[in-house]
Amino acid sequence: MPDHLPVVLDERRLASLVEEIGDRDLVHEAVQAFIDELPGRLSAIRAAVESGDRGNIRSVSHALGSPAAMLGATAVSVSTREMQLAAMSEEEQDLDERLTEIETAAALSYKAMTDYLIAN
């Protein structure tokens, strides 16, 4: 993972959610839903990058980044935000680099979130 990306999973954020909501099982369901939806969301970002549709790139990146931020998947959140910014520039290579970062962060987050569910 690129050095500038933050921690993969902020478990303090998840603990805070459990405290705020008061329902550990509901938070676990949200984490599981994120994990389950991750492959499809990554495919949507990849397809948007391949098509060059910058508006769609921003939209599908936000659709992954927003729940990532809520659930403490910090590296995914940051990398999708960087993709949204790159989609506003004219550099094609930036999009490919950001896609690689998102996919790397997502793979690491998938494992970290799965481990979180097992341990908690």
Mind listing the pLDDT tens digit for each residue in 16-43? 999 999 999 999 999 999 999 999 999 9
DSSP-derived letter for residue 52 is T
Q: What angle do CA 46, 52, 54 make, to 5 degrees?
A: 95
pLDDT value for 94: 84
Q: Any idea which fold 11-119 has?
A: Four Helix Bundle (Hemerythrin (Met), subunit A) (1.20.120)
- Which stretches of the chain drop beneath a pLDDT of 50? 1
Domain ranges of the chain: 11-119
Looking at residue 1, its pLDDT comes to 45
**What tokens does 68 get?**
């990532």
Cα–Cα distance between 61 and 59 in angstroms, integer? 5
User: What span, in angstroms and rounded, lies between the C-alpha atoms of 111 and 120?
Assistant: 14
Burial class (CB in 10 A: 0-12, 13-18, 19+), 4: exposed
Q: Tell me the one-letter amino acid at 40.
A: G
